[in-house]
Amino acid sequence: MLSAKDFAPPDEKCISIIQKLRWKDGVRCIYCDSGVVVKKGKDKRGFQRYLCRGCGRSFNDGTNTIFDKSKLEIWEWFYLIKESRSRSLYSIALDLGRKYEHVWRNAKKMKEYLLAKKIASKLRGDVEVDETYVTAGEKGKRQGRLGGG
């Protein structure tokens, strides 16, 4: 019998896709933006680890992404991303052998992450705010500012 893993790319391919998307302009330190970064082995999930020569901190391909500190396997994330466009989270949870709540929480995390990235991309440069209205009291309420009724 086929499982969900049979329909997902292998972890190495998933990690390769993440690297190409994340480091399209070359690997830079996520903490200090230095370009002086060296490879430092791989972590237990298969992500490439890096050491920044500028600030001395280490990070990997998944640091500060939805994959960071996640209990889902990389292939499970890719399966969830692909299948959530056309199928219910309940059926995906059954395919993955995970609790519905766990899959729902990660799908929510994924959508919030994508929304935050979309918003951040639109907020580049100067942001100007006009006409801010701040209420000065409780005008119009039954018990006004003086406690009258």
| Cβ-proximal residues to 134 (8 Å cutoff; 6+ apart), any chain | none
User: What's the sign of the alpha-carbon dihedral 76, 60, 70, 43?
Assistant: positive
For 98-113, the pLDDT digits (tens) are 999 999 999 999 888 8
Residue 13 contacts residue 79 (beta carbons within 8 Å): no
pTM of model > 0.85:
no
Q: Which two tokens stand for residue 5?
A: 């893993």
For 36-72, the pLDDT digits (tens) are 999 999 998 899 999 999 999 999 999 999 888 888 8
- Rounded to the nearest angstrom, the gap between the alpha carbon of residue 99 and the centroid of all alpha carbons in its chain is 21
